[in-house]
């Protein structure tokens, strides 16, 4: 998870039971929404500041510092998929934006 501006957080939830799988898709939300979604024993990682660490502590969760930058982690996951022969068709991939651009078309 990380701060996404406008008082929101960007976060998703995954489970390691029987291999990593998505439990909650990537989303934007207020810190109170994250707090409500946390369960005792959850593990949080990402760009966690003191305020987010306090939320985690209050929910009985554990904060784990990432061992590297998230781009490095994504590259490692992608490399593993390629080795396993699980490549996506690049012509159908689209970026995931959690929020539209702040600047829209200009009116006249």
Residue 108 reports pLDDT greater than 70: no
CA dihedral 98, 102, 75, 26 (to 10 degrees): -10
Number of Cβ within 10 Å of residue 44's Cβ equals: 19
Q: What Å distances lie between residue 70 and 1, 35, 73, 77, CA to CA?
A: 10, 23, 5, 10
Which tens digit of pLDDT belongs to each residue from 13-61?
888 787 778 888 999 999 999 999 999 989 998 888 899 999 999 999 9
Which tens digit of pLDDT belongs to each residue from 53-94?
999 999 999 998 877 676 777 788 788 889 999 888 989 999
| Domain ranges across the chain | 2-83
- Domain 2-83 belongs to what topology? Nucleotidyltransferase; domain 5 (3.30.420)
Angle at 55 between CA 23 and CA 18, to 5 degrees: 25
Number of Cβ within 10 Å of residue 67's Cβ equals: 8
């Amino acid at each position: 998870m990380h701060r996404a501006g406008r008082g929101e957080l960007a976060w998703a939830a995954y489970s390691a039971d029987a291999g990593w799988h998505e439990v909650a898709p990537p989303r934007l939300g207020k810190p109170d929404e994250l707090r409500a979604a946390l369960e005792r024993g959850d593990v949080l990682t990402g760009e966690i500041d003191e305020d987010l660490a306090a939320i985690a502590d209050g929910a009985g969760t554990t904060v784990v510092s990432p061992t590297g930058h998230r781009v490095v982690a994504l590259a490692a996951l992608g490399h593993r998929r390629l080795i396993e022969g699980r490549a996506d068709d690049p012509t159908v991939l689209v970026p995931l934006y959690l929020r539209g651009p702040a600047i829209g078309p200009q009116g006249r």
